[in-house]
Amino acid sequence: MSTGNQAPSFAQSTWLVAEREIGSKLRSKAFLISSVILFLGSLALVIWGGFQAQSNEGIPVAVTSDAAHYVAEIPGIDVTDASDRADAEALVESGEVDAAIVGDSSSPLGFVVIAESSAPTQLMLSLAQLPPVEILNPDPTDEALRYLVAIGFGIVFLLAASLFGGTIAQSVVEEKQTRVVELLISAIPTRALLAGKVIGNTVLAMAQILVLAAISIVGLTVTGQTEILQGLGGPIVWFAIFFFFGFILLASLFAAAAAMVSRQEDIGSTTTPLTMLIMAPYFLVIFFNDNPVVLGIMSYVPFSAPVGMPMRLFLGEAQWWEPLLSLAILIATCAAAIYLGARIYENSILRMGARVKLSEALRS
């Protein structure tokens, strides 16, 4: 007998399965197209944000060197250096700047404003002496930005989790429906098969999330929106970490739920509750992103923590230890889900025909 083959280790078997899972997904046109759309969409959002920011930039003003110190402290103006008064006037006439500020000893202020037909009101207000203002309850974050970030986290979680949750469910049922699963588990342990599928899809989902994070961070930097980035960078990293465990949790449950049915058409009957669990954080974060209580609860419930906690971190509502505690809860839930998921999967994967009852699937 030629038996050159050594039984592969559990880890090797798992990796082979994961590798196939990733390979087959990367060759699926539907997957590639939907990923590209997602990436382009997030890129468009970042660039659009960049344009918005740019349109709010300062008023273009030509300034001669003898007047430079007058405008140094004034926000909201975009300075173009002019060599002398004539040069400044030429710039105003050509329309390159809205106005020019030049030194003039005859002016009581020491400088004059030169404009083409009328002086820009905003510039005049900026130059005026205003009393200092003190705000007692500062609005920490711009309302629109808060909403945008909420939608961002919510939708990325929803899309990635449902895309890959659905993928893993389909591939479990495909193996069951085509009976290839009998061949697979006569070669490798059932748990290696399940682990491989979960790992393969987690790798893909994480890769997608990391590309999205990279697009937003690089995009924000390139378009000069560094202020948003300072507030958002940390939460994005936390989001990625939470998503990793949150996804493993969901993937195990999706695989288990799918193993209970035998046909693609029946997937919905067992995975619908999970789909609800994925959609809930999205709607909650959109409707309640200004409600600290709801966000607080969301940030600890394992299924919504990947959205809720980064949101609270972005809003500056969470203490430093809160993400760690929430992460610990998530990891514990994840371990429990893997345990239960594996049991359901093992008990159901070879049972063809009618849907396997949950009580039977959980029996040891």
Partner 1 sequence: MLTLEGITKSYSGRRVLDDVAFDVRPGRLTGFVGGNGAGKTTTMRIVLGVLAKDAGRVTLDGTEVTASDRRRFGYMPEERGLYPKMKVLEHIIYLARLHGFSKTDASARATELLERLGLGERLGDNVETLSLGNQQRAQIAAALVHDPEVLILDEPFSGLDPLAVDVVAGVLQDRAKAGSAVLFSSHQLDVVERLCDDLVIIAGGTIRAVGSRDALRAEHSTRRFELVSSGDAGWLRGEAGVEVLEFDGGYAVFDVDGDETAQRVLRRAVAQGDVASFAPQHPTLAQIFKEVIQ
Which residues here bind partner 1, judged by CB under 8 A? 1-8, 13, 16-17, 20, 24, 174-175, 178-189, 350
User: 32, 17, 330, 47: which is closest to 208 by C-alpha?
Assistant: 32
Say if strands 77-82 and 111-115 run parallel, antiparallel, or are unpaired. unpaired
Q: What single letter denotes the amino acid at residue 236?
A: I
Q: Between 149 and 344, name the residue whose CB sits nearer to partner 1.
A: 344
> Residue 115 CB: number of other CB atoms within 10 A?
15
Cβ 38 to partner 1 shortest distance, Å: 23
Rounded Cα distance between 334 and 354, Å, is 29
Place of tokens 């046909």: 263
Q: Between 25 and 312, name the residue whose CB sits nearer to partner 1.
A: 25
Q: Between 8 and 234, name the residue whose CB sits nearer to partner 1.
A: 8
Q: Between 4 and 95, name the residue whose CB sits nearer to partner 1.
A: 4
Region for residue 316 given its phi and psi (left: phi exceeds 0; alpha: psi -120 to 50; beta: otherwise): left
Cβ 328 to partner 1 shortest distance, Å: 35
Q: Between 249 and 260, name the residue whose CB sits nearer to partner 1.
A: 260
Cβ 145 to partner 1 shortest distance, Å: 44
Cβ 27 to partner 1 shortest distance, Å: 8
Rounded Cα distance between 18 and 20, Å, is 5
Cβ 23 to partner 1 shortest distance, Å: 9
Cβ 6 to partner 1 shortest distance, Å: 5
Q: What single letter denotes the amino acid at residue 174?
A: E
* Residues 311 and 285: beta-carbon distance below 8 Å: yes
Q: Between 10 and 300, name the residue whose CB sits nearer to partner 1.
A: 10
Q: Between 243 and 345, name the residue whose CB sits nearer to partner 1.
A: 345
Cβ 187 to partner 1 shortest distance, Å: 4
* Residues 333 and 320: beta-carbon distance below 8 Å: no
Helix axes 190-222, 322-348, angle to 10 degrees: 140
Q: What single letter denotes the amino acid at residue 237?
A: V
Cβ 163 to partner 1 shortest distance, Å: 18
Q: Between 32 and 324, name the residue whose CB sits nearer to partner 1.
A: 32
Residues in the chain: 364
Rounded Cα distance between 215 and 44, Å, is 10
DSSP state letters, 74-119: -TTEEEEEESSHHHHHHHHHHTSSSEEEEE-TTSTTSEEEEESSS-
Rounded Cα distance between 8 and 15, Å, is 10
Which residues make Cβ contacts (< 8 Å) with residue 186, sequence separation at least 6?
A: none
Q: What sign does the dihedral 312-318-320-322 (CA atoms) show? A: negative
Phi/psi for 11 (5° steps) reads: -65, -40
Cβ 19 to partner 1 shortest distance, Å: 9
The token pair that represents 27 in the structure block: 């060759």
Q: Between 126 and 264, name the residue whose CB sits nearer to partner 1.
A: 264
Cβ 173 to partner 1 shortest distance, Å: 13
Q: Between 3 and 137, name the residue whose CB sits nearer to partner 1.
A: 3
